[in-house]
Structure 1
């Protein structure tokens, strides 16, 4: 029986015998699972924007904000690289295979060994990073070396934020287990606790700190503990709570490590590119790091709600299909995922380009955030938005390799894209400054997605299903109609500067609702139906 939404909230279920729950996960509707993750991710992203509104109002784009963004970006980058990146993509296919083909006791042994081994590695990395904090700041933000006070502040923050890597990586481990057992809502909701912690720290702890921005670093530490503690009861309820015991000799751990090595580049190249942007931005005019951060945050909203949500549900589903040896259904899933991200990603990217200044003004033009900051952030927002579709496609194409436990091919693609990003950076940074860095990231993302798609097609894994020509015309027409409406309806962005918060919010809501309404009305008129996107995992 296909689980309903309640299956994703195990707190509503009566306790079950662990021996019964640690069985091969039932198949679920991918669209339903995707909508669950999208809804939870939307809540998280909205809270993230609220967090950024608070941070922008209290700290603007000054030294304190720049220091925190770098101090939090370093462990956050490593989290995405090791925990939610390479580890997640290597762990879920192996765990899915164990859940499908192995006994309950073998699944438990795998979880115990992976949890213990991961914890040991993370403890060592965290301790080393805290000791080497000043040198890490030199590596990731060399421009801060021109200001000793800013360098010291960033290093102090890094010592507080790096334990977040340990805590959130263990949280990602727990989330991977829950996702494999189709409990998607819990891991998708967990980031809300990060945003609540940072908002609370900014409001409550800032007055208590000699350096106000240091409150944000403490908020990160609190968030890591809260997120890990939140997921533990759900693992217990499933009967899958590990008893961590390091065992690097375990065959499953060996396979995960073998798959992780190349996946470090293959799945996280976009994060490496964003980090390179931060390194180079630290060499530009003050505020460049913050302008890139605020624009990246807006792009992360549709990327997380649509692209990452679909990628989250499709990896376990593809892994199970590979374990079941169902290549035709595997190909249909990839085709479904590409159509889904285009359906939602194309209008989102267009809206970000057309409404860059109104969005930034409505969310961030308060307190210390100036009109100059808005203009600069809008430039990088438009550049990042051009690559939104590519960012999304990477999230759904890379699992086509990882689900088949092929991590070597994506690493080759990742290296090519990363080198291209460096070249684009050097070419575009001189005429476009920080916006050139954002545009370089977008261009390299298209190269990454294009190569992944080409190789999947060449291997016969990605097989486009009938109806793509008609679908392209439907999407193209919908985007054109929506773009024309937004272009004609939106007031000049200079007018937004003089409005109050509720006038801004009212106009922004009107534009979003009108744009989405005309887009989906066009699609419905041309025959696109929700039932066309139903597919079981």
Structure 2
């Protein structure tokens, strides 16, 4: 089974890698077209609101509530040897119909009430708009862009539903590849769309709309081929929908905690200097690369697996699967942390420093990235530990933990932002994530669900030592920021690749010398 898990994890990670690389290219294009100024701040704001709701209605709370119930229904079909998947198909029809009505109403409301959303989450801009201040223009532009980006919520909700179904059936590649299409659409509109709309921000907003539509349409043939393309049906009181409703309400709070924290960061950043939202965004995007590639990629495989094990009441293998997930994300997370810490500025320089993106922007983004990176492993561990609750249909405990983390984040924001500005917001996010991960682990340990073995702690210690050696090697090979600036673009790229290759090689040589073997990644069956 560990081979199957590794294969599934590799498929998801490879597809996610393609998506993340295109995501970086997308951000390079955005940086070139808009830099980190007014237009960038407004577009990133208008894109953040529907993405916040996407986490609630799509891959976030909905997936965490839907996948365990769907796994139960699919398990029944397998036990009954029902190849038509009658129970599974019925649940999908009921959920898609019910979700469809709710998301349609929310989307329509969002489009009509877009100025209200800007007022709530960009209050600094609203104050300037009332007083005809310097940021008044941002308020009007953000409200108009939200009307374009909000339908993305509708498309991505059904895309996430389809992805959850295909993942449960063991078809991970399709859902993992789908985000590539969003990035392609945004890149296309950034390059070719600006000539047909009023400004570059509007072109990117239409790219989001188009990307959502393409993602939605792309998954339909795969659902048909799997035999689970069904006619949606409103079924608010159906048994399966009731189960999901009971699970999703607390899950909404749990998932929304992180998203509310990000929106609070945006709210506070709207009072800070122009560029703050953009600097945080670019730093977050670089953080999301390893997080999405390894953390979310492995978590995508772990949740359906844990749900099946819980249905079979395989508690020891359940714990072993969580342990496997933590080992895998640690294997890649620690070197990613070390490498990004040492090479932050040259990476940002190579990726973004052209067009409207200045040398000063490189420095500002790097400061935020340093702060975010201090919580990278915590973000990854959350992705593995949280499914340990959701797979057991316990969505209340992560909510309570999430609320504590959210309150802590608010306090950290208020304590740090006055002194460190936007960097303080990034530090607060990392600290609250670390608290969240610790409390999730403690809860699993107290309930006897999972506890780190001494062998796993020692394994992670070996990885940390190897990552430290890697950081020292890369730091010795790298240049000062002023020296990097003297190189031409190709010179920067070549030396950056040279540092990365030798850094990665030194890491894997060290873990081999310290005794890390493939056998350390087996899921132990009892």
* Fold shared by both chains (TM-score > 0.5): yes
1:210 corresponds to which residue? 198
Task: For 1:250-265, list aligned pairs within 5 A.
Answer: 250-265=238-253
Q: Please point out which of 283, 304, 315 is paired with 1:327.
A: 315
Cα drift, residue 60 of structure 1: 0.5
Contact 2:194/2:203 (CA < 8 Å) preserved in 1? Answer: yes
2:72 corresponds to which residue? 97
Cα drift, residue 473 of structure 1: 3.5
1:45 corresponds to which residue? 20
Contact 1:267/1:398 (CA < 8 Å) preserved in 2? Answer: no
Cα drift, residue 452 of structure 1: 0.3
Contact 1:30/1:536 (CA < 8 Å) preserved in 2? Answer: no
Q: Deviations over 1:36-93 (max 9, x none)?
A: 1111111101100000001100111121111110000100111012211100000000
What is the CA–CA distance in structure 2 between the aligned matches of 1:168 and 1:409, rounded to whole Å?
27
Q: Please point out which of 414, 419, 439 is paired with 2:407.
A: 419
- Larger deviation, residues 441-450 vs 274-283: 274-283
What is the CA–CA distance in structure 2 between the aligned matches of 1:48 and 1:472, rounded to whole Å?
30
What is the CA–CA distance in structure 1 between the aligned matches of 2:232 and 2:485, rounded to whole Å?
54
Q: Please point out which of 393, 416, 419 is paired with 1:431.
A: 419
Cα drift, residue 275 of structure 1: 1.8
Q: Deviations over 1:3-29 (max 9, x none)?
A: xxxxxxxxxxxxxxxxxxxxxxxx971
Q: Please point out which of 319, 336, 344 is paired with 2:324.
A: 336
Contact 1:390/1:446 (CA < 8 Å) preserved in 2? Answer: yes
Q: Please point out which of 78, 91, 104 is paired with 1:110.
A: 91
Please state whether the residue corresponding to 1:208 is helix, strand or coil.
Answer: coil
Q: Please point out which of 74, 83, 95 is paired with 2:49.
A: 74
Q: Please point out which of 394, 404, 412 is paired with 2:392.
A: 404
What is the CA–CA distance in structure 1 between the aligned matches of 2:176 and 2:256, rounded to whole Å?
19
Q: Please point out which of 455, 469, 484 is paired with 1:481.
A: 469
Q: Note the residue ranges of structure 1 that are not aligned, 5 or more in a row.
A: 3-26
What is the CA–CA distance in structure 2 between the aligned matches of 1:139 and 1:281, rounded to whole Å?
13
- Larger deviation, residues 54-63 vs 294-303: 54-63
Q: 1:133 to 1:516 in 2, by over 3 A?
A: same
Please state whether the residue corresponding to 2:475 is helix, strand or coil.
Answer: helix
1:86 corresponds to which residue? 61
2:108 corresponds to which residue? 127
Contact 1:332/1:465 (CA < 8 Å) preserved in 2? Answer: no
Q: CA RMSD in A?
A: 1.4
Contact 1:122/1:166 (CA < 8 Å) preserved in 2? Answer: yes
Cα drift, residue 536 of structure 1: 8.6
Contact 2:338/2:468 (CA < 8 Å) preserved in 1? Answer: no
2:290 corresponds to which residue? 302
Establish whether residue 279 from structure 1 lines up as the match of residue 260 from structure 2.
no
Q: Deviations over 1:165-210 (max 9, x none)?
A: 0001100000000000111111111101011000000000112222
Contact 2:317/2:524 (CA < 8 Å) preserved in 1? Answer: no
What is the CA–CA distance in structure 2 between the aligned matches of 1:536 and 1:118, rounded to whole Å?
38
Establish whether residue 31 from structure 1 lines up as the match of residue 19 from structure 2.
no
Please state whether the residue corresponding to 2:231 is helix, strand or coil.
Answer: coil
Cα drift, residue 507 of structure 1: 1.6
Contact 2:320/2:524 (CA < 8 Å) preserved in 1? Answer: no
2:131 corresponds to which residue? none
Cα drift, residue 499 of structure 1: 2.8
Contact 2:33/2:200 (CA < 8 Å) preserved in 1? Answer: no
2:145 corresponds to which residue? 157
What is the CA–CA distance in structure 2 between the aligned matches of 1:239 and 1:536, rounded to whole Å?
33
Please state whether the residue corresponding to 2:328 is helix, strand or coil.
Answer: helix
1:139 corresponds to which residue? 120
Cα drift, residue 35 of structure 1: 1.1
Contact 1:342/1:389 (CA < 8 Å) preserved in 2? Answer: yes
1:346 corresponds to which residue? 334
Q: Please point out which of 431, 438, 443 is paired with 1:450.
A: 438
- Larger deviation, residues 311-320 vs 339-348: 339-348
Structure 1 runs of 4+ off > 6 angstroms? none
Please state whether the residue corresponding to 2:107 is helix, strand or coil.
Answer: helix
Cα drift, residue 508 of structure 1: 1.6
Cα drift, residue 321 of structure 1: 0.1
1:61 corresponds to which residue? 36
Cα drift, residue 469 of structure 1: 4.5
What is the CA–CA distance in structure 1 between the aligned matches of 2:524 and 2:297, rounded to whole Å?
16
